[in-house]
Amino acid sequence: MTKPQSDEEKIEEIRMRTERMAEDKARIFELIPKVFPEKRGEPAVRGRLTAVVEASGYTREYVARIRDGKVKPS
């Protein structure tokens, strides 16, 4: 049986999970531009934006803004 958490332990878990979410978001923002070949001077791949939208859950506009460096993780 799992021991009930104290309020302080719950707060620490919240802090830890929030930090992990921020790290994950920063990594996603780092990866998005890297999966677009045109950012590497290569020919564009048809459907790449749609694939990234589906994988990330972000809107097409938001992914395009991340790809173009117009938005940074907050």
pLDDT in tens, 7-31: 999 999 999 999 999 999 999 999 9
For the cut 80, the answer to whether the pLDDT of residue 1 exceeds it is no
Integer Cα distance of 72 and 34 in angstroms: 15
Confidence band of 44 (pLDDT split at 50, 70, 90):
very high
Q: Which amino acid is at 6?
A: S
Q: How much of the chain, in percent, has pLDDT values that exceed 70?
A: 99
Integer Cα distance of 71 and 50 in angstroms: 19
Closest CA to 66 of 42, 37, 31: 31
Integer Cα distance of 4 and 42 in angstroms: 55
Q: How much of the chain, in percent, has pLDDT values that exceed 90?
A: 89
